[in-house]
A and B are shown apart, each in its own frame.
Chain A
């Protein structure tokens, strides 16, 4: 293992949409330093006009997600010595999203696609009804549980090259959430979800390159969820054809 360098050369993407520039900072290196520490140092010690997001700084909220040396990561959980042993760091806002300013990306398209995928619960029972005793052992519930810990940090969306090439594509997070609801026995609009994920930007655009699963900090597997959606949409279409 190489010795910790005493200084880091950090190139940061600055500016707004249409006026992007890159600035380099000379940052002191420390023994246990995360990329979020580096960004914070730059703002506090070098340039107070640097804009960036963070909240919990302990790997729970996902707000600090950025591109670090070309890879989407939670900066609060990325140790500098793991990604920049040579002392070179490149930090940019999350890919595939418009830039608001500097390292802050506009998450609106990400959330809009979440809604467009019908990836929200459609209630089937009211207050007066018995509640559904769903257990985690049921296969469908177990499948749904694999994806429910998504905190919508946008890393999978930034990692996906299909999102990069196809502006209509709903993306791994939205589709995985739709899959968790499809497997939810309490959801009342299965057909609606299947229709929403079968359109122009639907699950059938996924090329299974797996960057979503590779980079998800919560070890979720949107690739698996989307494969499930493909299977279910084909099955439903086949049933419609047969019963038509």
Chain B
């Protein structure tokens, strides 16, 4: 497979950050609307929560937690890049961000199933 010419580590980190942000922004209104049902229609929320017990949904939730954690961790790396003195270790930081996110989301997933 021919490697796309732009796929160096920091570019992949950028893409992951942008796509995770986009996905979270699209997911958020759904999430917030559902929670607002807690008062107006608790049965709707409970119905959804019961449906969400399905392993595939749990896997999707794992994905969402990963996206949130990786977007945050990547964002912290960017804040460090922009406001702290320059470091040459940003490829390492980017890898650490993905690792941290995997750790947090896997912990969630293992407790969820």
A and B touch in the complex (CB under 8 A): yes
Interface residues of A (CB under 8 A from B): 69-71, 159, 161, 207-211, 214, 223-224, 227-228, 230-231, 234
Q: Select from chain A the residue with minimum beta-carbon distance to B83.
A: A231
B6 touches A208 (CB 8 A): no
Would A208 and B5 count as touching, CB distance under 8 A?
A: no
Q: Which of B1-49 contact A (CB under 8 A)?
A: 4-6, 8, 10-11, 13-15, 18
How many angstroms between the C-alpha atoms of A214 and B90 in the bound complex? 13
Question: How near does chain A come to B97, taking the closest CB pair, in angstroms?
Answer: 13
* Interface status of B78 (Cβ within 8 A of chain A): yes
Check A214 against B14 for contact (C-beta < 8 Å).
Answer: no
Give the complex CA separation of A70 and B5 in angstroms.
Answer: 6
Query: How many Å from the CB of B27 to the closest CB on chain A?
Result: 22
Residues of B within 8 A of A (CB): 4-6, 8, 10-11, 13-15, 18, 78, 81-83, 86, 90
- By the criterion CB–CB under 8 Å, are A230 and B82 in contact? yes
Q: A208-B78, A227-B86 are in contact. Are A71 and B11 (CB under 8 A)?
A: no
Nearest 6 interchain pairs by C-beta: A210-B10, A70-B5, A209-B14, A71-B5, A209-B11, A230-B82
A70 close to B8 (CB less than 8 A)? no
A70 vs B2: C-alpha distance when bound (angstroms): 11
- Determine whether the beta carbon of A208 is less than 8 Å from that of B86: no
Which one of A208, A227, A230 contacts B10 once the chains associate, using CB atoms below 8 Å?
A208
The CA-CA distance from A69 to B6 in the complex, in Å, is 11
Q: Are the CB atoms of B5 and A69 closer together than 8 Å?
A: yes
Q: B residues within 8 A CB of A161?
A: 6, 11, 14
Q: How many angstroms between the C-alpha atoms of A211 and B7 in the bound complex?
A: 9
A234 CA to B79 CA, complexed, in Å: 13
Kindly provide the distance from the CB of B5 to the nearest chain A CB, expressed in whole angstroms: 4
CB distance from B84 to the nearest CB of A (A): 9
Which residues from chain B contact A159 at a C-beta distance below 8 Å?
A: 6
Chain B CB within 10 A, most for which of A71, A208, A214, A231: A208
Q: Residues of A contacting B86 with CB < 8 Å?
A: 224, 227-228
The answer to whether B4 and A70 have CB atoms under 8 Å apart is: yes
**Chain A residues, CB < 8 A from B90:** 210
Q: How far is the CA of A136 from the CA of B81 in the complex (A)?
A: 25
Q: Please give me the residue from chain B that is nearest to A221 by CB atom.
A: B86
**Assembled-state Cα–Cα distance A69/B78 (Å):** 30
Q: Do residues A227 and B81 form an inter-chain contact, with CB atoms below 8 A?
A: yes
The answer to whether B11 and A211 have CB atoms under 8 Å apart is yes
Closest A residue to B86 by CB, please name it: A224
Specify which chain A residues have a CB less than 8 angstroms from the CB of B18 in the assembled complex: 207
Using CB atoms, name the residue of chain B closest to A72: B5
Given the complex of chains A and B, what is the CA–CA distance between A234 and B88 in angstroms? Answer: 22
Alpha-carbon distance A69/B3, docked complex (angstroms) = 10
The contact of A214 among B8, B13, B83, by CB within 8 Å, is B8
Cβ B5 vs Cβ A209 within 8 A = no
Distance between B102 CB and nearest chain A CB, rounded to angstroms:
22
Measured between C-beta atoms, what is the minimum distance from A90 to chain B in Å? 10
Contacts of A223 in B (CB 8 A): 10
B11 close to A210 (CB less than 8 A): yes
How far apart are the CA atoms of A22 and B72 in the complex, in Å?
Answer: 43
Given A224-B86, A227-B86, A208–B14 Cβ distance below 8 Å?
yes
